[in-house]
Every structure is written in structure tokens, then in C-alpha cells.
Amino acid sequence: MLKSVQVVERSLEKLTKTVEKMEDLSEEEKEFALALVADFEAELDAQKAKIDSFTNETSQEEIRAAIKDLKELNQKVHKMQRRLVGLLVNAKLHVLVEKQAELHAGMQARIDALAGTGADVSGLVEILAEFDAKVTGLKQDYKIAQQKWMEAKDAVDFDQFNRELRDAQHEVRKDLQDIKKILRKFLAEYKEVKEDLSEGKNESENET
């Protein structure tokens, strides 16, 4: 039985180290994951206390039940390790979501620079508005994916939880792909406006 306890303890140590090494996690996500680990540790302590209370008069049935409880706890810990993969994916998606503000600023700066030369930037403004609308949807979808992982503690059916989390993350990835297309469209329009502006300047110089 001592061996079963040590197996669970090693699993929990590994789980804690895994969470602490996840650099892309927000403080909230890391605290949530570590709180789940703490729940497992409390459950293990309760089981250890029960085992310590056993005597020579303890029945084989009680001993078998205690071993079974330890095995089930270890299975729950392993499932949580698999769920952490989903959390890590969420964390990496979060980095990409946060990058959108920087992309907006860069697009706006290009529009402002061209507008200052008198170029027609109406097409670029429309594309930027399309970009902003898609980013709003992206943030909403990411929030859903984040909330889905936060349900990890109460999820009974692990496979269903995993499917729902993957589906939510798929929506975020789809949004990011759509945003890439919008960015390519913006750059193509930007290049065209600059070329038109350059041609206009050359014509003016030739006329003079």
C-alpha cells in the first residue's frame, strides 16, 4: 500500500512541476491549475490518514478499498496531466490573441502615413474595420475556450470534455486563419495605394 501512495505522490510532483514550467500561462490560469493539484494533494492526505489508522484488525476488504481509492486518485491525476495539454494550447493561443492589438496599431500607422500624403485610404480603412470585427469575434471565441478549460475540475466525462475543448480551440484557430487572410488583403491594398501614389508623383514631375 505504501508503494501505491508513493506512486500518487510522484505523479502529483510531476504535475506541479509541469504547471510551474508553463511560461505562457497567465497568473490566473496557473493558480487555477495549481489549485486543482492542491485538491488532489488534500485527497491523498485524507487517504494516507485513513491508511495510517489501519491496525492488525483492519479487514482485507477495507485494505482493498483503500488501494482501489489510491488507484482511482492516480488515474484522476493522469487525466489532469492530459488536460494540461489543452491548457498549454490555450496559453499559446492567448499569446496570438494579444498580438492582434499590435497588428492593429501597425495597420493604423500605415493608413495614417498614406493619408498624410493625400492618398485615397478608404479601401484600407474598410479592411481595418473588417480586421477589428474579426478580432472581436476572436476574443469572444478565445474566452469560450478559456472558460471551457476552467470546467476541467468538474468534468465527469473526460473524452467529452476533451472534444468540447478541442472544438472551442478550433474556432480560435479558424479566426486566426481568417485574420491572416485579412492581413494579406490589407498588404495587397497598401502596396497598390503606394504604387498609385508613386505613379501620380511621377506624372506630376513629368508635367513640370
Q: What is the pLDDT of residues 48-106, one digit of tens each?
A: 888 888 888 888 888 888 888 888 888 888 888 877 778 778 888 888 898 999 999 99
CA separation for the pair 50, 63 (Å, rounded) = 10
- Strand ranges (DSSP E) for 82-190? none
CA separation for the pair 160, 155 (Å, rounded) = 9
Q: Please, which pLDDT band fits residue 130 given cuts at 50, 70 and 90?
A: very high
Nearest to 92 by CA among 155, 138, 24: 24
Q: Between the CA of residue 34 and those of 6, 48, 117, 185, 187, what are the distances in Å?
A: 20, 21, 55, 43, 43
Tens of pLDDT, residue by residue over 145-166, are 888 877 766 666 777 887 888 8
Contacts of residue 6, defined as CB under 8 A and 6 or more positions apart, other chains included, come to none
Could you tell me the pTM of the whole model? 0.71
Q: What is the pLDDT of residue 156?
A: 67
**Identity of residue 99:** K
CA separation for the pair 29, 35 (Å, rounded) = 10
User: What percent of the chain has pLDDT above 70?
Assistant: 92
Q: What are phi and psi of 56, to 5 degrees?
A: -65, -20
Q: Please, which pLDDT band fits residue 126 given cuts at 50, 70 and 90?
A: very high
Alpha carbon 32 to its chain's center: 14
Q: What is the number of other CB atoms lying within 10 angstroms of the CB of residue 113?
A: 13
